[in-house]
Structure 1
């Protein structure tokens, strides 16, 4: 568990599948991360395995005072160009967006990666048209590196495409081929 100024961050566990499914149905999150109940269960299993095997995974973010679920985020290990990288991400419920919660979760993730994992760099990526997440990355002091392609959304389409453009950011110099 970690705490920030306004949040309590607790590791995602397999028992959180129903909570994650409901969270991902929120109108502020569903357009980017809609999950079926089965996908939510698989996602939380991956997070729990990440905590167990790598000492890193996503958190559920609750308000420190009310206990209300704000969103989720934190770090995970992801593959970029064949190399394992520490990746930070966030998803915040619509009614809590534009209040700095995504930045607070992202900052906690970056701090965790550096302080607990000894990471010298952290990456983040989002679909190129997700201006809100890109703004959070820039607020966190991350630098745009390049576009990468992976399954995701393309502007103007609700369907997931196998080769969608993503904007890749880093906290440090990322040695990748363009």
Structure 2
């Protein structure tokens, strides 16, 4: 995996043009992809965190993208875990592999930040991935005119499992050179996010 940057604007439209990916992430324009890639590059530079492009070890073909977005959730800075896998690659465990790789990375680089994930209530595939990652539901976010969204969190006592290197077409992983400090591993536990207002 490599950090998303401006050089990925030719590959990202391949991902976002897949029908199932488009259904969940919405239609993308070239300008939108370029702006998103620029934001991801800026996030890596400013915050030392962002999303990666994932490619198959065997031939370097695009698998998808995954990783984190750092933002303020109800007054608390969190890392939102997310992923998108090309339609032709779904059902092979790539989303779970992306999620586990991201969680492993976060323990080393941002152990002080809580991790959350969001999915629409009817997205059973994403919910299944979150369950496999050891996350748990923590509430429902409701906004007028929008589909209800589940909020999931990493549980405080979770010890992240080692990534499965036996995958027949596993994803390559490259540590981003972002100059982040490595926190004390004794403080690598996660704490849940309190969801007091489900309308937020």
Q: What TM-score do the two structures reach when normalised by structure 1?
A: 0.84
| 1:39-54 correspondence to structure 2 within 5 Å | 39-54=32-47
Secondary structure, counterpart of 1:72 in structure 2: strand
Note if 1:174 corresponds to 2:167: no
Relative to total residues, which structure has the larger strand share, 1 or 2? 1
Q: Which residue of 2 aligns with 1:79?
A: 72
2:135 aligned with 1:142 = yes
User: Which 5+ residue runs of structure 2 have no aligned equivalent?
Assistant: 156-191
Deviant stretches of 4+, over 3 Å: none
Aligned to 1:133: 126
Structure 1: gaps (5+ residues): 1-8, 151-160
CA distance in structure 2 between the aligned counterparts of 1:120 and 1:86, rounded to whole angstroms: 7
User: 3-state SS of the aligned residue for 1:174?
Assistant: coil
C-alpha deviation, 1:108, in angstroms: 0.8
C-alpha separation in 1, matches of 2:150 and 2:117: 8
CA contact (8 A) 2:52 2:66 kept: yes
Match of 1:61 in 2: 54
Partner of 2:21: 29
1:68 and 1:115, CA in 2 relative to 1: closer, same or farther beyond 3 A?
same
Q: Name the larger-Rg structure.
A: 2
Number of residue pairs matched by the alignment: 160
Counterpart CA distance in 2 for 1:92 and 1:135 is: 14
The Cα shift of 1:40 comes to 0.7
1:163 corresponds to: 146
Q: Quote the Cα distance in structure 1 between the aligned partners of 2:112 and 2:83.
A: 19
| 1:18 aligned onto 2:10 | yes
Higher RCO (CA < 8 A, seq sep 6+):
2
Determine the C-alpha separation between the residues in 1 that align with 2:149 and 2:79. Answer: 17
Give the aligned CA root-mean-square deviation in angstroms: 1.6
Q: Distance in 2 between matches of 1:134 and 1:40?
A: 26
Deviation per CA, 1:121-146, whole angstroms, max 9, x where unpaired? Answer: 31110111111001100110000000
